[in-house]
Amino acid sequence: MKLSFLSVASAILSGLVCSAVAAPAPTSRRVENFNLHWTFTKGPAVGAEAAAFDDSAWTPVRLPHDWAISGPYDPQGDPHTGKLPWRGEGWYRKLFALPASDSGKRVYLDFDGVMANPTVYVNGQKAGGWDYGYMSFRVDATAFVKPGATNILAVHADTREHNSRWYPGAGIYRKVELVVCDPLHISQWGTFVTTPDVSPDRATIRVETTLENHTPTAAEAVVETILLDPKGKEVGRNRTNVTVPAAGSCANTATLSTSKPQLWDITTPRLYTAITRVLLPSTPQTTLLDQTTTPFGIRTFEFTANDGFHLNGRRVQLNGVCLHSDLGPLGMAFNTRAMERELQIMQEMGVNAVRTSHNPPAPELLDLCDRMGIVVWDEAFDKWDGTATLPKGVSIPEHGKKQYTNFVKRDRNHPCVVVWSVGNEIWDLEGLKYPDAPGLLKTMVGFVKALDTTRPVGLAQCVPDSAKSQISAALDVAGWNYGRRYAISRERWPNLPIIYSESASAFSTRGYFDDFQMPKAKDDYPVTARISSYDHNSAWYSDPADVEFALTRLSHDTR
């Protein structure tokens, strides 16, 4: 799908970013790649969670892994999801050893994404799980592991209750990491970097760090924050004494500044680094309990109703794409180089913006956009029901809050992210079928804003008449899909910036140029199984790219 960003939010917002960078240090934190030496079987496997279960006949696999992409295709299957066997259940198992020295440490398993409804077992006991296949989550395995012994990890993935309008893949399709750290440590996604004041001469950097204390007594610590410029030169340092309550947590804020800031931009995607260290106050030079590294960017941006998107004080025309999570014939198993190549090709075509349609992406996608200078509309859901894997008996707000919490905390330090989207084409909301639909949307937007106020929050809409209701009152930006459906929004909410985030949806057969006959209508498809690669055909609800580009220019010229 091709995407055009038109105008867009009102307040100037300043920016941030996060992604893990390995940095050697004498700290108790250890992060291990957990992608190798798994076994897999598709279908039910009674007792597979048990430590003594015999999986010798299972298939050896490495992660990320998508069990459905290899087929077989079902000619009568759902064309929207690739006619591939993604619906079902599967089991993964892995042996791993922990040294005896890990006794007393916290042990976590971090999953970037499992499709779908994963349940995680450690040594035969249920240790945790998740209920949305696109979201990253952590399992606290501390109470279930055996330091000094061999342990068994089993993961059950079940896609039978997940609904999808495109190919979602199946299984542990993103990376897994083992994290071992001191009982006093930095929380997962516990560093939040913002730049509240930015000028050509100076930038203020605010680094908020959340610590966890898993001991029965209060703990004294020193939080040290070190700021590195894009070339790795130290440009700031701060130390603060903190007291973390017993079996509790606390947040510490460090404020630093740097002169002549090097801005993150689509042309010069410069990244600073915040190193956060937790030390014992008695010997701060030698006893380092924990350390994390957070890349971030210094930039300002503004979405306006009448002049589009401004980055670092200048207007930038956003030319974007709606990008689904799968990698085409490679499937859902995430591959960083494949994603990088895809982005490079699109950048050569002029793309400078990506919408993560319609779910949280792999964290590596945002890392790449940070480094390559691509701005991102970061989206949480396609609808709020089956495609969000809404569990039975769980309310939409309850499920939403849980997912938005991980979503925003995970992604809020990426400078590439310039919009949070709470959902896509939520027909029951737009059609006012939910009780108090405006209030429900305000609640969902509020979950996001409770965690980050530095970016606008939007919703991708597709029902034109919904612009006549009050649901737009909760939004900072209005997202619209297809057919100039934004026209009513522009009339009714003239001060609300609009992002035309999903426009052309053309159909073609790749590399087929032999059919030069123009179709009588956009959805007049040829009787053969091939459609001209000149993009003459489109879906009934959209237009071919050239038509959309012309309409976009018309809207721009007459705004």
Q: What are 520-553's pLDDT values in tens digits? A: 899 888 888 788 898 889 988 898 888 888 887 7
Average pLDDT, the chain: 92
Residue 22 has pLDDT above 50, yes or no: no
Can you give the pLDDT at residue 557? 58
Decide the pairing of beta strands 119-122 and 137-140: unpaired
Residue ranges of the chain assigned to CATH 3.20.20.80: 2-14+299-505+542-557
Q: What share of residues in the chain are helix, strand, coil (percent, to 5)?
A: 15, 35, 50
Measuring CA to CA, which residue among 91, 90, 127, 131 is closest to residue 109? 127
How many angstroms separate the CA atoms of 38 and 108, rounded?
A: 18
According to CATH, the topology of domain 184-296 is: Immunoglobulin-like (2.60.40)
Position 554 pLDDT exceeds 80 = no
Percent of the chain with pLDDT over 90: 83
Q: How far apart are CA 4 and CA 532, in angstroms?
A: 23
The residue type found at 400 is: G
Distance (Å, rounded) from C-alpha 6 to C-alpha 26? 49
CA distance 271 to 370: 8
pLDDT, one tens digit per residue, over 335-353 is 999 999 999 999 999 999 9
CATH 2.60.40.10 occupies which residues in the chain? 184-296
Q: Which of 106-110, 254-258, 406-410, 520-524 has the lowest mean pLDDT?
A: 520-524
Q: Which residues of the chain are in CATH 2.60.120.260 domains?
A: 30-181
Helix (H, G, I), strand (E, B) or coil at 439: helix
Q: Which residues contact 436 (CB under 8 A, 6 or more apart)?
A: none
Give the count of alpha carbons within 13 A of 344, CB side only: 6
Q: Is 27 helix (H, G, I), strand (E, B) or coil?
A: strand
pLDDT at 286: 67
Residue in the block written with tokens 């760090």: 209
Beta bridge partners of 237: 226
Alpha-carbon distance of 353 to 500, in angstroms, equals 12
Confidence class for position 6, pLDDT limits 50, 70, 90: very low
Q: What is the pLDDT of residues 216-242, one digit of tens each?
A: 999 999 999 999 999 999 999 999 999
> Would you tell me how many other CB atoms lie within 10 Å of the CB of residue 82?
22
CA dist 438 → 430, 432, 468 (Å): 9, 8, 12
Outline where 269-413 has alpha helix (H): 336-348, 363-372, 396-411
- How many helices and strands (H and E) does the chain possess? 7, 31
- How far apart (Å, rounded) are the C-alpha atoms in residues 550 and 548? 5
Cα-based angle 125, 126, 127 (whole degrees, multiple of 5): 105
Q: Phi and psi of 330, rounded to 5°? A: -80, -15
Closest CA to 374 of 222, 235, 290, 265: 265
Read off the pLDDT of residues 35-75 as tens digits, 9 standing for 90 and up.
Answer: 999 999 999 999 999 999 999 999 999 999 999 999 999 99
pLDDT of residue 322: 95
Tokens of 294: 């957070």
Q: Are 277 and 267 in contact (CB under 8 A)?
A: no
Which residues are part of the catalytic machinery? Answer: 425, 502
Contacts with 113 (C-beta within 8 Å, 6 or more apart), sequence order:
133, 134, 135, 136, 172, 173, 174, 334, 360, 362
Residue 99 pLDDT more than 60?
Answer: yes
Architecture of domain 2-14+299-505+542-557: Alpha-Beta Barrel (3.20)
Share of the chain above pLDDT 70, in %: 94
Other Cβ atoms within 10 Å of 44 Cβ, number: 12
Residue range 367-376: mean pLDDT, rounded? 98
Residue 12: per-residue pLDDT:
31
N residues, the chain: 559
* Architecture of the domain made up of 30-181: Sandwich (2.60)
